[in-house]
A and B are shown apart, each in its own frame.
Chain A
Amino acid sequence: NAGVTQTPKFQVLKTGQSMTLQCAQDMNHEYMSWYRQDPGMGLRLIHYSVGAGITDQGEVPNGYNVSRSTTEDFPLRLLSAAPSQTSVYFCASSWGGGGYNEQFFGPGTRLTVL
């Protein structure tokens, strides 16, 4: 199993550009989520999905879109990048959302917006 994979590892954007961060998992997990981590801080939830076709907002959803057309993939779209979106982005997955489930995290994407 590759686990949770994320691409790209690094990305530099100019203000106003759009891009999609890719996330895939091969564990047949129903629950997937996106977090961002700013320097010296814990992770904050952006969006999450409890299954294909179902998504919902987390703590900091503004400026981001998600969709879940398959169980395996959960891309995160930045519509119009802003310097405030400079961060490290982590994707995670688990069997379900229940409190007894452990989450598996990807290696992260480091995004810089100039």
Chain B
Amino acid sequence: DAKTTQPNSMESNEEEPVHLPCNHSTISGTDYIHWYRQLPSQGPEYVIHGLTSNVNNRMASLAIAEDRKSSTLILHRATLRDAAVYYCILRVFYNQGGKLIFGQGTELSVKP
């Protein structure tokens, strides 16, 4: 399975945009890029995913580099509730097991 690399931690101010980077230089053409987040003492929560094109949903935006070797999760206006560990994960399209391989993630803290 292809690996991802994320910074261990990031800080943001409330109501400012946050850009969370992820490197995945060994990504294959059939790997989807997923982002999950885990709030303290809770299970992981799906945020967004994409394959090649940039994606938007109500929670966030996902910007994917043209060569797909990196991506950025964008939270447009951080709130205190967005403080969590964010995981960037590659999911193989054709693997029926569809397992999620979690790395260490990025711990995002949001200052009021």
B93 lies within 8 A of A100 (CB):
yes
B46 lies within 8 A of A44 (CB):
no
Residues of chain B with a CB closer than 8 A to A44's CB: 102
Question: Which residues of chain A (32-54) have a CB below 8 Å from chain B?
Answer: 33, 35, 41-45, 48, 50
Residues of chain B with a CB closer than 8 A to A43's CB: 44, 100, 102
Residues of chain B with a CB closer than 8 A to A56's CB: 97
CA distance A99 to B45 in the complex (A): 16
Question: Which residues of chain B (32-82) have a CB below 8 Å from chain A?
Answer: 32, 34, 36, 42-46, 49, 51
B103 lies within 8 A of A104 (CB):
no
CB distance from A79 to the nearest CB of B (A): 23
- Scoring A58, A92, A99 by chain B CB atoms within 10 A of each residue's CB, the highest score goes to A99
B31 lies within 8 A of A99 (CB):
yes
A90 lies within 8 A of B99 (CB):
no
| Partner pick for B98 among A42, A98, A108, CB 8 A cutoff | A98
Number of interface residues of A (CB under 8 A): 29
| Partner pick for B96 among A4, A45, A50, CB 8 A cutoff | A50
| Partner pick for B103 among A35, A42, A92, CB 8 A cutoff | A42
CA distance A108 to B93 in the complex (A): 27
Residues of chain B with a CB closer than 8 A to A48's CB: 97-99
Given A42-B87, A99-B92, A99-B98, 20 new contacts (CB under 8 A): A42-B103, A42-B104, A43-B100, A48-B97, A48-B99, A92-B100, A94-B98, A96-B96, A97-B95, A98-B91, A98-B96, A99-B94, A99-B95, A100-B51, A100-B93, A102-B34, A102-B49, A104-B46, A105-B45, A107-B42
